[in-house]
Amino acid sequence: MGKSRLEAFSDGVLAIIITIMVLELKVPQSGELVALRPQLPAFLSYVLSFVYLGIYWNNHHHMLHATRNVNGAILWANLHLLFWLSLFPFVTGWMGENSFAPAPTALYGLVLLMAAIAYWILQYAIIASQGHDSLLARAVGRDIKGKLSPVLYVLAIFAAFFNQWISGGLYVVVALMWLIPDRRIERVLGDS
Amino acid sequence: MGKSRLEAFSDGVLAIIITIMVLELKVPQSGELVALRPQLPAFLSYVLSFVYLGIYWNNHHHMLHATRNVNGAILWANLHLLFWLSLFPFVTGWMGENSFAPAPTALYGLVLLMAAIAYWILQYAIIASQGHDSLLARAVGRDIKGKLSPVLYVLAIFAAFFNQWISGGLYVVVALMWLIPDRRIERVLGDS
Amino acid sequence: MGKSRLEAFSDGVLAIIITIMVLELKVPQSGELVALRPQLPAFLSYVLSFVYLGIYWNNHHHMLHATRNVNGAILWANLHLLFWLSLFPFVTGWMGENSFAPAPTALYGLVLLMAAIAYWILQYAIIASQGHDSLLARAVGRDIKGKLSPVLYVLAIFAAFFNQWISGGLYVVVALMWLIPDRRIERVLGDS
Amino acid sequence: MGKSRLEAFSDGVLAIIITIMVLELKVPQSGELVALRPQLPAFLSYVLSFVYLGIYWNNHHHMLHATRNVNGAILWANLHLLFWLSLFPFVTGWMGENSFAPAPTALYGLVLLMAAIAYWILQYAIIASQGHDSLLARAVGRDIKGKLSPVLYVLAIFAAFFNQWISGGLYVVVALMWLIPDRRIERVLGDS
């Protein structure tokens, strides 16, 4: 199987996930401006998830760009990643509608963690099939961001039961870490 | 008509089905962790359906990969398959929200059975158009998994009215049978 | 603009319309088999709309297959067609949830009629741009089915206020007329 | 990264946004014709948003058609545009369900304004990467429509708190301005 089908299907699923999340923003009954206020946490969690899915879409494509062939292991590792990403609308909605309450905030971090692990497994499956001197293996390198993110997610999950704003802050930090172009942050983290 | 349009449309429909299923996971009103517990059956049925749709997507592509041209019969056989797959969100939601009650569990099996029959019809329509020594005809071979699955679905539908966990177990068994790479299980089943 | 973008976008919209219609099938609260009975009209209207959208997808592709270039008029005629098709989930849900009551059954026919007119406009825009001896102009020919369908829709809209089963029957007849392969029915209708 | 992936993903997201908006048209409980009347404002706001998204899809493609390569800035500027467009179902639903009340009508204009700014940023990012004598830079030219639209949106936002029909009228005017083929209106506006 060529990789184009995998790309097209993943693109489709990611496009749908990123878009149906907006259905969790419930249209207020009242037409007053104040009726928007209870929607503010839901909006913030929507923005956060939109950025995360954008990052995943971006990285997913760079990864597949450096991939030649697709085998069964890669295919199922990819579906596994899409599975965890498909839970974004649910956890985004739960966190937003409960104003970042501890349990939803922790569950949000758990889904981020599982997606990060699924991404790592997919990366591993591709490198295993392409060889350790492949383009992808060299591009990934020491993968400092990939190793730091899960650690920060675990911290955020535990922090949610003490102060959920620490968790929220950590989610924002990880997102920014991936948003800022690669080389610079890797050099910074590599030096520290 | 070339097959690429059929593939793209089927990819789109499958990507949407697999993703909108998550909308049946209702976001709990309460932000307590215990509020997730009533969602557990819905989550399990979501996982099961996600795996089944992943298997269908995977097999559908292998089948079309071995197809050269598309005629009217193939086109409508494909839409017929998509129709039954499109009922997955409904039956997944009904089974999940009623904690695997007998009737929803049986209906889930009925939709699985109809999808399997629709898949078989599509396969038959393609082989009829491509010839019996075609790549697909040889790849399908004795099609032991394809013949065993409907039998197990029928068993599961009847079992649902006695003990729905037998049905659930059978659905998992069929899914695993398809997940495990082809040659090995065919050899195992072929020997038995 | 090449036609491939138009095809891809139309495919996407049609795939989504055909799939989100299933969200109008409300998952029953109860897990009893009898809880499905009130859903039967909704299911029937879902099947009907699924077949209609399948026919539109099929014909849309044949039409674009015979199209070389896309201009602004074609592009907006296509969006106009997609607009009426996008109302299918709404009218399908309304007709189904009210057990084919007169007003929803008539509105369903109105949307079918508008979609048929929009399709005719799109066909006209393409022929106008490609020339009257173009492949499409010759393929369309006298277009008996295309002229008969709107007449039957108008009949069905009026019939809905007397006996809605006549309307339902007419909708099924038009769908069958398009499902049966082209040449045969054209010859039959051409002779009569 | 080639631009085809960006196009495919944007097409997918736009196709989904334009289609799920219809889910905000709530299917009336009653099957009487009068039950449609309260849905009329929702229908009108649906039509308006459908036209706007059609215009964005159309212009987005012309813009990318004149683009050679995609870099990180273009990619994120594109996601930023999709973010604001993804809020269309929410603001369309809120405005429609509250019969064009002041606050929802103003918020609708705000999302239109942000989308216009995001479009301008994307255009700027592409021109910055392609050079100021590039095809796109020359095609955009003085960009009178692009400069006039935000001004009209701002006017409409303020007008909403006095007379929301002025706002609605301005939204229709901007849409018509973009619908009418480019050269003519540019000449008209250029002379005035």
What's the pLDDT tens digit per position in A159-187?
999 998 999 999 999 999 888 755 544 45
Closest residue in A to B65 (Cα–Cα):
A1
* pLDDT for residue B182: 54
Whether the complex's predicted ipTM is more than 0.90 is answered with no
Secondary structure of C37-67 in HEC code, one letter for each residue: HHHHHHHHHHHHHHHHHHHHHHHHHHHHHCC
Cβ contact (<8 Å) for C15 and B24? no
Which whole-number Å values give the CA distances from B171 to B44, B54, B153, B154, B167, in the listed order? 12, 14, 7, 11, 6
Closest residue in A to D17 (Cα–Cα):
A19
Give the minimum alpha-carbon distance from C177 to chain B in angstroms, rounded to a whole number: 15
Q: Which of B114-128, C103-117, C155-169, D142-156 has the lowest average pLDDT?
A: D142-156
Give the minimum alpha-carbon distance from B181 to chain C in angstroms, rounded to a whole number: 30
* pLDDT for residue D15: 93
Point out the residue among B12, B82, B94 whose CB comes nearest to the CB of C27. B94
Closest residue in B to C24 (Cα–Cα):
B90
Cβ–Cβ contact C70 with D under 8 A: no
* pLDDT for residue A77: 94
Question: Residue C23 CB: number of other CB atoms within 10 A?
Answer: 19
* pLDDT for residue D181: 58
Question: Residue B130 CB: number of other CB atoms within 10 A?
Answer: 17
Local confidence pLDDT in tens for the 192 residues of chain C? 668 888 888 989 999 999 999 988 888 888 888 899 888 999 999 999 999 999 999 889 888 877 878 888 898 999 999 999 999 999 999 999 998 999 999 999 999 999 999 999 999 898 888 876 677 777 777 778 888 999 999 999 999 999 989 999 999 999 998 887 555 444 544 554
The widest CA-to-CA distance across chain A, in whole angstroms, is 60
Q: DSSP per residue over B128-185, as a string?
A: HHH-TTSHHHHHHTT-HHHHHHHHHHHHHHHHTTT-HHHHHHHHHHHHHHHHS-HHHH
What's the pLDDT tens digit per position in D98-141?
989 999 999 999 999 999 999 999 998 988 888 766 767 777 77
Task: Give D1's contacts in chain A (Cβ within 8 Å).
Answer: 61-62, 65
Using an 8 Å Cβ cutoff, are C154 and C30 in contact?
no
Task: Give D13's contacts in chain A (Cβ within 8 Å).
Answer: 15, 18-19
Q: Is the pLDDT of residue D161 over 80?
A: yes
Cβ contact (<8 Å) for D11 and C5? yes
Q: DSSP per residue over B56-116, as a string?
A: HHHHHHHHHHT-----HHHHHHHHHHHHHHHTHHHHHHHHHHTTT-HHHHHHHHHHHHHHH
Helix (H, G, I), strand (E, B) or coil at C180: coil
**What's the pTM value of the predicted model, to 2 decimals?**
0.90
Question: Residue C45 CB: number of other CB atoms within 10 A?
Answer: 29
Chains interfacing with B (3 or more CB pairs < 8 Å)? A, C
The residue among D124, D123, D95, D112 whose CA lies nearest residue D170 is D112
Structure tokens at A11: 């693109």
Q: How confident is the model at residue B32 (pLDDT cuts 50, 70, 90)?
A: confident
Using an 8 Å Cβ cutoff, are C72 and C130 in contact?
no
- Start-to-end C-alpha separation, chain D: 43
The residue among B136, B4, D2 whose CA lies nearest residue A2 is B4
Point out the residue among B23, B83, B103 whose CB comes nearest to the CB of C23. B23
Cβ contact (<8 Å) for D54 and C72? no
Task: Give C19's contacts in chain B (Cβ within 8 Å).
Answer: 13, 16-17, 20, 86
Cβ contact (<8 Å) for B31 and A103? yes
E strands of D69-169, at which residues?
none
* Distance from C-alpha of C75 to C-alpha of C122, rounded to nearest angstrom: 9
Low-confidence residues in chain A, pLDDT < 50: 184-186, 188-189, 192
Closest residue in C to B79 (Cα–Cα):
C54
